[in-house]
Amino acid sequence: MTDRAPDAGYEAVIGLEIHVQLRTEEKLFCPDGTGFGEVPNTNVCPVCLGLPGALPVLNREAVELAVRASLAFGCTVHQRSVWARKNYFYPDLPKGYQISQFEEPLATDGVFRVETDDTSDPVGRLAIRIRRIHMEEDAGKSIHDRFEGATAVDLNRTGTPLIEMVTEPDFRSPAQVRAWLTGVKQVLEYLEVSDCNMEEGSLRVDANVSIRPVGSEPLGTKTELKNMNSFSGVERALDVEIARQRDVVAMGGQVAHQTLLWDERRGDVRPMRSKEESHDYRYFPDPDLPPLQVSENLIEAVKAQLPELPAARRTRFREDYGLPAYDAGVLTARRPLADYYEETARTSGAPKEASNWIMGPVLAAMNARDLEADDFPVRPVHLAELIDLVEEGTINRNVAKDVLGRMLESAAGVEVGSAAAKTPAEIVREEGLATVSDTGRLEAWVEDALAAHPEEVARFRDGETRLQGFFMGEVMKRSRGKADPTEVARILTERLEET
């Protein structure tokens, strides 16, 4: 469900605010760990508890990740940016302010493009401008449904580094938003900047949306949508909200500026409880933290380490390995998978075969086990070896699929990449799975199959030639799949046409 195009004459205008938790070992301003799902209120220290007298000390790794993301999204990274306090009261905000950046953010003016099949875009590319990327600390978690009449506060997440990306209102449909977000997530994963897990909250998307008559320049009154915890949720929430705004306008009403929460279960948006006073965050430069200086050297160093991004890799896979666009898209969707493919393709020297194997049985096995490519027990070097065995004719394709199964079995419970896991050659040798092309043995299996089915032989000779397949199967059964099918076909034809 996408793109209920706004009714005659109205278009939607959408902008996003994306919060991304950075994948650092330690918190932004104190050395506590950033693990998810730990015992509540244990990853805490005087700094993130906001104890009297505690002071923030900046994590370099977080700055580097934020710079990496800013560069990847085409932003200008500023040599000087300023930490600011955003003041508001909430039980999961221990200091009564959040350390963020306001007037002078880390990075500004980016553009990020994704390929889309949106027909309204003639070049098939959706370019969205990024107004700014700034760094800030995360708040803790308020849990409203655990205790009767009380909100429980867990401060483990407090101080986890975040970047906030703010886009220009460049989207015109919920489908565009979803496509673009998918691309953004892919890049963030490639950069190893974030886990991007919306359910765990390491990626959070809020949207601003308004509608206006097509061709009109000024923006309508926008509403803010929060509480979406998947990309499809974002898309559906926007669909619902755009429809609601259209109805309001159609009834002659005016859209009210408000914050709405998406209710996934009811498929509906509901206004957030109005605050006691309007937002007045009283931003000012944090006197505890001098401005952040990102030197030219640091920017250059981060730039030099930027990995190849998904779009470039897709193009290269098509050019270097001759893959069709679809395969290149699937194989580059996630960086570990792309690395896996590339290593397999290079080691085996058979890129097309490698693609077939990975897009087929390997991905199926990964999905069944819910594993990322880098945790998949069959390593690229072994998959390449398996492909080689097929290419050389040592085993046939069907046997090879069995061998892959055996490799997975032998690797179960063994550390990924461990020498204890069996190589395909070992399995083929130990189990005697190599293809049999020896004419003597093949002839014996053929004789046996024909002798067991005199009736079918007679029918074949009466012209029922489609029984050739039946005999082939019988021979394969007798050879436990190892018989060289080409040879078998030749011998069968010979024998059946003899008399």
Partner 1 sequence: MSVSREEVERIAALARLDVFGEDEPAAEGRPSAVRLTEELNRILEHIATLEEADISEIGDPIRLPSDPVPFRDPGLEPDSLAEGAPADRAPRWRDGFFLVPRLPALVDDEEDGS
Partner 2 sequence: MAAAVREGSVPADHYLNKALEQARAVDRGHEGLNAFLALAKPGGPAPDAPDSGSGRAGETHPTGDGLLAGVPVAVKDNLCTLDLPTTCASRILEGYRSPYEATAVRRLRVAGARLVGKTNMDEFAMGSSTENSAFGPTRNPRDRDRVPGGSSGGSAAAVAAGVVPCALGSDTGGSVRQPAAFCGVVGVKPTYGRVSRYGLVAFASSLDQVGAFGRSVLDAALLLEAVAGYDPRDPTSVRRPVPDLSGGLDEGIRGRVVGLPREYLPDTLAPEVRARYDEAVERLREAGARIREVSLPHTRFAVSTYYVLAPAEASSNLARYDGVRYGGRASEARSTLELYRASRTRGFGPEVVRRIMLGTFGLSAGYHDQYYDRAQKVRALIARDFERVWADGVDLLFTPTAPGPAFRLGERTADPVAMYLSDVFTVTANLAGIPGVSVPMGEVAGGGGDRPPLGGQFLAPPWHEAPMLQAARALEVSYGITGEDT
Residues 61-120 that bind partner 2 (CB under 8 A): 85, 87, 89, 91, 94-97
Nearest to 160 by CA among 109, 197, 108, 207: 197
Nearest to 173 by CA among 350, 356, 354, 3: 3
Asked if 299 interacts with partner 1 (CB under 8 A), we say no
CB-wise, 56 or 310, nearer to partner 1?
56
Q: Which one of 8, 147, 412, 432 is in contact with partner 1 (CB under 8 A)? A: 147
Binding map of partner 2 across residues 132-171, x = CB under 8 A, - = no contact: -------------------x-x-x----------------
Nearest to 186 by CA among 56, 48, 329: 329
Place of tokens 């397999």: 344
- Listed in sequence order, the residues at least 6 apart from 300 whose beta carbon sits closer than 8 Å to its beta carbon are none
Q: Which one of 248, 289, 299, 472 is in contact with partner 1 (CB under 8 A)? A: 289
- Listed in sequence order, the residues at least 6 apart from 484 whose beta carbon sits closer than 8 Å to its beta carbon are 393, 396, 435, 436, 437, 442
Asked if 42 interacts with partner 2 (CB under 8 A), we say no
| 9 membership: H or E segment, kind and range | none
String of DSSP letters for 176-187: HHHHHHHHHHHH
Asked if 273 interacts with partner 1 (CB under 8 A), we say yes
- Listed in sequence order, the residues at least 6 apart from 268 whose beta carbon sits closer than 8 Å to its beta carbon are 240, 262
Asked if 381 interacts with partner 2 (CB under 8 A), we say no
| Cα first-last separation, the chain | 64
Find how far residue 457's CA is from the centre of its chain: 56
Asked if 410 interacts with partner 2 (CB under 8 A), we say no
DSSP label at 38?
A: P
CB of 277 to partner 2, least distance (A): 10
Q: 312 contacts which partner out of partner 1, partner 2, none, CB within 5 to 8 A by kind? A: none
Asked if 257 interacts with partner 2 (CB under 8 A), we say no
CB-wise, 95 or 212, nearer to partner 2?
95
Nearest to 12 by CA among 148, 214, 165, 155: 214
Residues 18-57 that bind partner 1 (CB under 8 A): 26, 30-32, 39-42, 44-47, 49, 54, 57
Q: 273 contacts which partner out of partner 1, partner 2, none, CB within 5 to 8 A by kind? A: partner 1
Asked if 67 interacts with partner 1 (CB under 8 A), we say no
Asked if 362 interacts with partner 1 (CB under 8 A), we say no
C-alpha span between 64 and 232 (Å, rounded): 31
The total number of residues written for the chain in this structure: 499
CB-wise, 37 or 287, nearer to partner 2?
287
> In this structure, are residues 13 and 210 in contact, taking their beta carbons and an 8 Å threshold?
yes
CB-wise, 29 or 317, nearer to partner 1?
29
- Interacting residues with partner 1 (CB under 8 A): 26, 30-32, 39-42, 44-47, 49, 54, 57-60, 63, 80, 83, 89, 91, 142-144, 146-147, 149-155, 261, 270-274, 276-277, 280, 282, 285, 289-293
- Interacting residues with partner 2 (CB under 8 A): 46, 49-58, 85, 87, 89, 91, 94-97, 151, 153, 155, 276, 280, 282-284, 287-290
